[in-house]
Amino acid sequence: MWQHYFCATNGNMKRLSEIGVGRRVKISSIENDDNLIKLMEMGCVPGEVVQVEQIAPLGDPISISVAGYSLSLRISEAESILVEDFV
């Protein structure tokens, strides 16, 4: 059973794994999977603004800025984070 942890959205959601370097986005929801608690403990919570800092040459992992520090995520982890444009 899939479960999401939501924040108010404007309907333009993408997966964090689809966001390009330098873009700032707001976390809208996190799909409930094996990494949910780990991601939330690292600051990836709905409503938090993140920025994609780097993407490895082969696309995995990616580095994001969240809650004042840099965090590396596997693509599989980034795919479970739904984001929307930060205005």
User: How many domains does the chain divide into?
Assistant: 1
CATH number at 65 reads: 2.30.30.90
* DSSP per-residue string spanning 25-79: EEEEEEE-STTHHHHHHTT--TT-EEEEEEE-TTS-SEEEEETTEEEEE-HHHHT
For 4-48, the pLDDT digits (tens) are 555 555 567 899 999 999 999 999 998 877 778 888 888 888 999
Domain that holds residue 57: 4-85
Please give the model's pTM, rounded to 2 decimal places. 0.82
Nearest by Cα to 73 from 28, 22, 16: 16
- Bridge partners of 54, per DSSP, are 63
Output the CA torsion sign for 16, 70, 85, 31: positive
For 48-67, the pLDDT digits (tens) are 999 999 999 988 899 999 98
Nearest by Cα to 78 from 55, 58, 54, 62: 62
User: From CA 9, how far away is CA 75, in angstroms rounded?
Assistant: 23
